[in-house]
A and B are shown apart, each in its own frame.
Chain A
C-alpha cells in the first residue's frame, strides 16, 4: 500500500500562502491518480486555525515554538522525522522564498534528491512524473520520481488555487514534532521594504525593463513611455541589483506581484522567478531580441527586435495618437 500524498502547507505572517492552495489542488489530482489520500502538513506555533481552509483529507498539525517562523532547520528536521515515520508517496514543497530553504534541507536530512523546479507533476502508469523548468525557463526536463518518498519542489502557479481551498473543515490530526533543542539559526525580525515613490501594484500600465536595456541611461526610454501612458517603470532583478531602479520597482518572486492592464516587458528573458510576478497581467507585450526567450510563452504579443529601437518608436506612436 503506497503512502499518501503530502503537501507542506506554507503559511507566513499569520496567513496561508496562495501557493499552498495551488499545491493542494495538484496534490488532489496526484492522490486520486495513485488511489491514496491527500494530507496537508501544517507546522507552526499556535497556527492550528489555519488548517480550516486546506482542502486535504487530513491536516497533520505539528506545534512547537521553534516552528513559529520559517526557520528552515527546525522545519526540515520536524518534517524529516514525520516523513521517515509515515512514508508518504510524495511530498510537495512550495518553491517560494518562505519555504525554499526547507526544500533545500529536507532532502539532505533524508539523503534523497529533491526534484526541483516542477512546473507540473502527473501520474503515468501508476508512477509520478515531474516536468521541471530548467535554464531560466528555456527547457522542460521530464523526470521519473524514484522509489521511496518523492520530494518535489513545485513552482508557484502549478494549478488554480481555488481547488485547494476547502469548503468544509478538514479532519485535523495533531502530530508530535521533534525539533532540535539547539537553534543554530535564530529569527530576529522582519524589515518592511522602503516605500517607493510609486506603488507598482496599483498601476494600470507598467513598462518593465530587464538586463536587455543595457545601461542605466536607457531606463529613461522606458520612463518616458511610462509617463506618456500615465503608468510606471518597473524591472527584473538584474536591473534592481545594478541599482538602476529601486527595490520597490522589482517584479517577481522577491518583489511585487503585479496585475496591470498593460505590461510591456523590454529586454526581459522571462525566467520563472520573474514570470510569477507578472503573468496575470491583462495584456503582456514582450520585446526581446531572442526569439526563443521564455517571455514569449507568457506574452500575448511578441516583438523580436531591439528594445532600444522599439521603445522610442512606441513613444513616438503614443505621442502621435495623443495628438
Chain B
C-alpha cells in the first residue's frame, strides 16, 4: 500500500500560553510547538499497515518551525519519504491548510495516486474546521474520522470508529480514502535520537513549493482570552502532608472515610 501520513505542529498546551499584543492570537515568541499528538498516531498506523502489507509511507507536512526534526523522526521511524510543502504562508487556519494540501499534494512529483491518506483528527488549534474532512472533500475521497483501527484487505478498508461509551462502529470503504485517526492500534513507537541523526545524514527531505496561497479567508477573531473558572476551584496550599490532611478532611466530610 502507498500511504500518506500528514503531520502538523501545534502549541504544546502543557506549557504556559500567552496572548499576543493584538489580543486576538497567541504570543508566538515563547510558544513551544510540538507535533500534533493525533498525527503521531496517524503516522504509527501508517507504519503498522506498511509492516503488514508492504508498500511505502510518505510523511507530508506544511513548512513550520521545527518541522524538519519531525520529518526526520518520521524517516527514522520507518517512513520511506518525507515531503515538506514550502511557501505555504504563515499561521494558516485549519481550513486554509487543508485547501492548500489538497492543491499541493497532486503537484508533488511521484507522489499521487496513493491508496490511503491518514491524518490526525482534531487538533487543539482547530478553529475553522476539520482538516481531514475538508481535505477528503477537496480530493473527492471518502472520509471517516475518529478512527482507532484500520485494516486493509483486497482493496477494501475496514475501520473502527469511536462512538460514545467505548462503543466502536465498523465502517467499510474502498482504499483510496482519507481517514482521521484518533489512535493507532499501538502507542506511537519511540525512536532513539541516534537513529534520527542517522536519518538526517542519509535521507533528505523533499521540498516542494506550494502553488500560491490557499484562497480561504480566516474567521474574524474578535478577542482571545483565558477562560474564567466556572467552578472557581479553592486552591489548597502547603506541604504534601498538609495538603493530604486537607484532602483527608474533605473525604471525611463527604462520608468517604
Question: B-contacting residues of A (Cβ < 8 Å)?
Answer: 12, 69-73, 96-98, 100-101, 103-105, 107-109, 113-117, 129, 132-144, 146, 184-193, 204-205, 229-230, 237-238, 241-243, 247-248, 250, 253-257, 261-262, 264, 269, 271, 282-286, 290, 292, 294, 296-305, 309-310, 312-314, 316-318, 320-322
Contact = CB atoms under 8 A, between A and B. Distances in A.
A282 B251 CA distance: 12
Nearest to B24: A141
23 contacts: A69-B169, A71-B171, A101-B143, A107-B133, A108-B133, A134-B126, A135-B13, A135-B125, A139-B26, A140-B225, A141-B221, A144-B222, A188-B170, A190-B163, A190-B168, A254-B146, A257-B165, A261-B254, A264-B247, A297-B229, A301-B233, A303-B243, A303-B247
A117 B11 CA distance: 17
Contacts of A253: 164
Instruction: Classify the interface of chain B: helix, strand, loop or mixed.
Output: mixed
B172 A261 contact: no
Interface in B211-257: 219-231, 233-236, 240-241, 243-248, 250-252, 254-257
Interface in B68-102: 93, 95
Nearest to A286: B233
Given A138-B17, A283-B254, 17 more contacts: A100-B130, A101-B133, A103-B130, A108-B138, A113-B219, A115-B127, A133-B227, A187-B169, A193-B167, A256-B165, A262-B254, A290-B14, A292-B17, A296-B229, A297-B227, A300-B231, A301-B236
Contacts of B133: 72, 101, 104-105, 107-108
6 pairs of A and B residues whose beta carbons are closest in the complex? A104-B133, A193-B166, A108-B137, A313-B244, A188-B170, A104-B130
B244 A191 contact: no
Contacts of B122: 100
Given A140-B225, A204-B256, A108 B167 contact: no
B231 A189 contact: no
Nearest to A310: B240
B56 interface: no
Given A190-B167, A248-B166, A317-B245, A129 B222 contact: yes
A96 B164 contact: yes
Contact of B251 (A229, A255, A294): A229
B58 interface: no
B142 interface: yes
B132 interface: yes
B130 A114 contact: yes
A280 to B, nearest CB: 11
A134 B143 contact: no
B256 A261 contact: yes
Nearest to A109: B137
Nearest to A308: B240
Contact of B14 (A69, A269, A300, A318): A269
Given A108-B137, A296-B229, A189 B234 contact: no
B230 to A, nearest CB: 6
Pick the most buried of A140, A298, A301: most chain B CB atoms within 10 A of its CB.
Answer: A301
A132 B127 contact: yes
Contact of B125 (A69, A134, A193, A320): A134
A185 B144 contact: yes
A306 to B, nearest CB: 8
B3 interface: no
A320 B256 CA distance: 14
B251 A318 contact: yes
Contacts of A188: 158, 169-172
Given A96-B164, A101-B145, A243 B187 contact: yes
B226 A139 contact: yes
A143 B250 CA distance: 40
B108 interface: no
B52 interface: no
B173 A318 contact: no
Contact of A140 (B166, B170, B180, B224): B224
Contact of A254 (B162, B174, B227, B250): B162
Contacts of A313: 240-241, 243-244
A242 B247 contact: no
B153 interface: no
B187 A242 contact: yes
B134 A107 contact: yes
Nearest to B172: A186
A144 B219 CA distance: 7
B90 to A, nearest CB: 18
A155 B154 CA distance: 38
Contacts of A305: 240, 243
A155 B170 CA distance: 25
